Structure 1
Amino acid sequence: MCFLEDEFFSLLEAGSSGRPHEASPKESSSCEASPAYPKETVEKLRDIAAAMISAGYGTECCEVFSAARSKEVEAAVSSIGYEKGSIDDVVKMPWESLEGAIATWIKSFRHFVSVILPAEHDLCNQVFSVDPDISTTLFQTVAGGVLLHLLVLPEAVAMTKRSAEKLFKVLDIYDALRDATPTIDSLLPDQADDSSLADELTSVRSRLGDAAISIFCDLEGSVKSDAAKTPVPGGAVHPLTRYVMNYIKYACEYKNTLDLVFHDHHTPFSAQLMELMDLLDSNLEAKSKLYKDPALSNIFLMNNGRYIAQKIKGSSEINMLLGETWYRKRSSNLRQYHKNYQRETWAKVLACFKDEGLTAAKGGVQKPVVKERLKSFNSLFEEIHRTQSAWVVSDEQLQSELRVSVSAVVVPAYRSFLGRFAQCLTPGRQTEKYVKFGAEDLESYIDELFDGKVPAPVARRRT
């Protein structure tokens, strides 16, 4: 028996040298070549195992097999790059290092589940075909021990300090565990005790799900508490808007996983996403109040609203989660901001062209009033051009829509006013004094609005 035990150990040690786990043969009652051993070696291992078990040396045989194969399987996993460590080691890792470790772990874990685990299962069945119960126990010992080591990193990641950038790696690990569950359930079924490997896998996966939800909810808290008191220059898109929308766009690429994670906690991910969007809306509404000029406040809301709408429109996943009704409401809000801007900026300008007060009792024209109206218009327009040329609308389509809408109401009204009342002015110096712009000049200056640049002073009208 001692001789057979030594031979058994030698075959296990020598036969596996340099033979990587590449594929698993189909399970069969007869011996086949194994990814770890040639057919002849498997046959010898089976014969020795049968002899030792029948002679009452099953315990010694199993101990040798378990030790040799555990070492070999661990080496196979390590060869892919995974380094075994403790929970404390992982928790103390800088995030940049842990990111790389997670990527390596995922590669190693997927290979372990898809290739090594089935191959080891077949090897145990072939070598210990004389006793299926022994085969099952040994496989659970060898594979289960390595699996428990592999679960150290996911467990540690679930325990690390929460931060927004960790969400996607947490979900990557969660996905790997979820994908592996059917294979592990079939090869490592529940054991008699309460601490089965399947239960451990479920527990780690659940903790990762809790971590993912916590991270996402922390983002909601960050949006809610972001109370910067300095307005973004020119009413541009706020950095918070860019960050949140880009984060959501990336998160929604994990839509199926997040649906599953949030479903386990009885909250649809779509509802959680809508809550986050509502928090962002409220935050931006509060930030818009930082602007003293109501018109600039509406430009800010338009800029941010358009940026959000474009991100949603460009992502089928976000669109699907938020729904058409939500998107239509967003578009309606944008139109209202546009109307508010027009009213706040251009209502006073258009008031210069009203007929009230321009005609005398006998039907004549009140020339002083015409002059005052033109003077007021020139002053207002110059001030708007000076101020709003420095405002920022980076979305080219929105910028064009704003300029076109301004031209559409201001230029025709100005042209009509001049057509009716310009003759009241004495040609020459008086006309130059009060009629500072031609209609084409207005269009050119309006096309300079929202460039985010300090404008040159308004020049005299072209002749």
Structure 2
Amino acid sequence: MEDHDPPPPDTPAGNADQNTQIDEETTSVASHDGKLYEKIDRFISESNGDDQPPEIVEYVHTFADLFDVAIVEFESGSRRWIQLEEDESDCFMQSVDRTAKLLTSFSRFCSEQNSAAAINRLSGIQQRAMSVFEVEFKSILDDYQKTSNDQISSSPSNVQEKSKSETETETETETETEKVTESTDGTEAQPERDEFLGYSDEKLSDLNKLSNGLIRGGHVTECGELYFFVRRNAIEQNLKILQFEKFSIDEMQKMQWEPIEKEICSWKKMFREFCTSFLPNERRLVDAIFSGEKPLSDRLFSNLTRIILSYFLNFAEAVMLTKRSAEKLFKFLDIYETVRDTFPAVEKLISDDEWLNELRSTAFLICTTLGESIFTIFIELENSIKSDATKTPVPGGAVHPLTRYVMNYLKYACEYSDTLEQIFRDHKNSDRSGSDSATASDELQSQNHQITDNWSPFQNQLAKIMDLLDLNLESKSKLYKDPPLSLIFLMNNGRYILQKTKGTGEMRTLMGDPWVRKRSSDLRSYHTSYKRETWTRLLQCLSHDGLSVNGKVMKPVLKERFKSFNSTFDEIYRTQTTWVVSDEQLQSELRVSISAIVIPAYRSFMGRFSQVFTPGRQTEKYIKYQPEDIETCIEELFDGSTAHHSKKR
């Protein structure tokens, strides 16, 4: 067995000694002309076809020496993968491949002493090369931090409020492949390369090469673990930057609702951002680094999404298990919509059927449980209206706190009308038999023609609540001893209900035109009854009946009429200026309608009978008000004041 093969055909035999040949080959490797690799490839090919152990030729040792030197440069820190030119990194990768093939060739004859020695040396070199790959892979993968943190800190999730258009514009800008910026002098700057999750195209290319080298070198597990470890830390770090708090179910049960509300607002923004932006980029990243290794990339992405989504879904589950109450309705709806709306985007990214089914089950459980709570809270609103049986009337006939609470509650609820429609459809067959609310609702069903089978379950629920509120207010109106004040109370509350409904587009649509017309008609009826109850008595004082006998005005009767008018008007004024009509339009309508019936009648009465009195003290004694004074006093009604200073009072 000779020490080395004859020189290749293109090399003159005998023109160089051993050292010269090694130097030339060292130079050729440095310049990447591939001559040494050609010899190694030919050696591998010929060895695989022999039945005898291959002869360990000198350029195999030369190859091992040169590869060893290259590895030492990485181990010493004098070289880094990111510093290599593309042909240099390709050369290193080829050395790894050829080392693996040489090991395969020698392994057939591992019992031979020369083969065993070659295997030991090449295995050691290959193992060190894999260690270099692992170190460089982790180093580049870890290099996401500065850029990624900057992106996260300025992302829509970390901003208090942004409009939809602003968010869409930012998203489009971030996902453009090239961004063109304009310099201060107005000239077009060079395009910047797209980066996602902090990795440039160059870094992705390096990571892909290194992952391929590790996989081909048999370090699939180590490569996957490194990727998982670094990206998990990245996720944890980003959540920390966003100040995302992880609460256990026990911790959540002990917390007050107000801090939980604030956490839900942050959770909602972050969860949407992670599901619609971060996770798709994480999918792109793992697919780019492990291109051609789909089972591995699928597994890594699934494991990472388990971590990300577990943080968010665990929070949702913890909130879901807190004690149910009316003030939680809107945050429950926020969580419900967020999970429901973001899930399809996540579903498209996951290839692991087992994990996907698990995720679907978790999301379904959260939405189902929250839906049940939302449905029940709404049903319990009926009971809260029924149980409000306070016996103290609201001063001045003003809008009752119950009316404000219920209508504002419904106003905000109707902003979620589509979601509530879905929830009520899902739960319309829930068993409510035996409950008080079911009995009340059944009674209303038969009493109010507005509640029909043509309406959706949520529309019917709104109508039921409105009708229960009407019944409650009707009962509270009877607490007033003064019938006109009872009517003012009904007008105030009815007007508030109508204006809230008309001012909320969703509620206005749900309740429909017939309901609005019926409400308006009820208000007109209250208005008419109020005028009859209050001002008819005053107008009777201005009646002409019994004032004249045989064409002569009976002065004593006239004096009593004026005195009766003055005292009656004083009483009405003194009482009704303390009454409250907070709706400016309703207040104006009442004043105008009162003036329209009182002022003309009073002006006519005065015009006909005022000359009966002797001018001077007698006139002033009985004619206390001029028509203009009456008009001024009417303009002071219903403002809730206890002190007025009309010049005639």
1:386-441 deviation line (CA, Å, top 9, x unaligned): 11111122222222221221121122222223333445445555444333222222
1:279 counterpart residue number: 468
1:226-281 deviation line (CA, Å, top 9, x unaligned): 22221111112222222333333333333333333334334543332222222222
SS of aligned partner of 2:267? helix
Q: How does 1:422-433 map to 2 (within 5 A)?
A: 422-433=610-621
Q: How does 1:185-204 map to 2 (within 5 A)?
A: 185-188=347-350, 191-192=353-354, 195-204=357-366
8 Å contact kept, 1:155–1:207: no
1:241 counterpart residue number: 403
1:20 counterpart residue number: 148
| Higher mean C-alpha deviation, range 64-73 or range 283-292 | 64-73
2:385 counterpart residue number: 223
8 Å contact kept, 1:24–1:115: no
8 Å contact kept, 1:249–1:318: yes
1:141-181 deviation line (CA, Å, top 9, x unaligned): 22123212220111111111233333332222223222312
Identify the structure with bigger relative contact order (alpha carbons < 8 Å, sequence gap 6+): 1
2:527 counterpart residue number: 338
8 Å contact kept, 2:134–2:214: no
Q: How does 1:257-336 map to 2 (within 5 A)?
A: 257-266=419-428, 268-336=457-525
1:270-309 deviation line (CA, Å, top 9, x unaligned): 3322222222222222221111100011111112222232
Cα distance change on mapping 1:148 and 1:36 into 2, 3 Å: same
1:29 counterpart residue number: none
Q: CA deviation at 1:120?
A: 2.2
2:342 counterpart residue number: 180
8 Å contact kept, 1:50–1:130: no
Cα distance change on mapping 1:2 and 1:24 into 2, 3 Å: farther
8 Å contact kept, 1:73–1:146: yes
1:79-138 deviation line (CA, Å, top 9, x unaligned): 322133322223322222222222222232122212221222223333444442333223
Q: How does 1:67-82 map to 2 (within 5 A)?
A: 67-82=229-244
1:190-214 deviation line (CA, Å, top 9, x unaligned): 7248952122122212322333333
8 Å contact kept, 2:629–2:648: no
Q: CA deviation at 1:33?
A: 7.4
Structure 1 counterpart of 2:559, one-letter code: K
Tell me the C-alpha RMSD between the 2 structures: 3.1
Cα distance change on mapping 1:119 and 1:243 into 2, 3 Å: same
Percent of residue pairs bearing the same amino acid type: 50
1:407 counterpart residue number: 595
| Higher mean C-alpha deviation, range 402-411 or range 201-210 | 201-210
Structure 2 counterpart of 1:14, one-letter code: S
Q: CA deviation at 1:374?
A: 2.3
1:104 counterpart residue number: 266
SS of aligned partner of 1:179? helix
1:12-35 deviation line (CA, Å, top 9, x unaligned): 532224152866799xxxxx9763
Q: Distance in 2 between matches of 1:4 and 1:206?
A: 53
Structure 1 counterpart of 2:571, one-letter code: E
Structure 1 counterpart of 2:335, one-letter code: I
Counterpart of 2:586 (choices 398, 401, 424) is: 398
Gaps of 5+ in 2: 1-125, 152-173, 178-193, 429-455
Cα distance change on mapping 1:457 and 1:378 into 2, 3 Å: farther
Q: Distance in 2 between matches of 1:253 and 1:272?
A: 15
8 Å contact kept, 1:382–1:458: no
8 Å contact kept, 1:411–1:442: yes
- What is the aligned length? 455
Q: CA deviation at 1:446?
A: 1.8
Q: Distance in 2 between matches of 1:340 and 1:432?
A: 34
Q: CA deviation at 1:220?
A: 3.5
Provide TM-score, normalisation by structure 1: 0.86
8 Å contact kept, 2:215–2:223: yes
Q: CA deviation at 1:384?
A: 0.8
8 Å contact kept, 1:231–1:287: yes
Matched, 1:209 2:333: no
8 Å contact kept, 1:25–1:34: no
Cα distance change on mapping 1:46 and 1:119 into 2, 3 Å: same
| Higher mean C-alpha deviation, range 210-219 or range 60-69 | 60-69
Q: Distance in 2 between matches of 1:63 and 1:453?
A: 76
8 Å contact kept, 1:11–1:41: no
Structure 2 counterpart of 1:384, one-letter code: I
Cα distance change on mapping 1:9 and 1:332 into 2, 3 Å: farther
Which entry has the higher C-alpha Rg, 1 or 2? 2
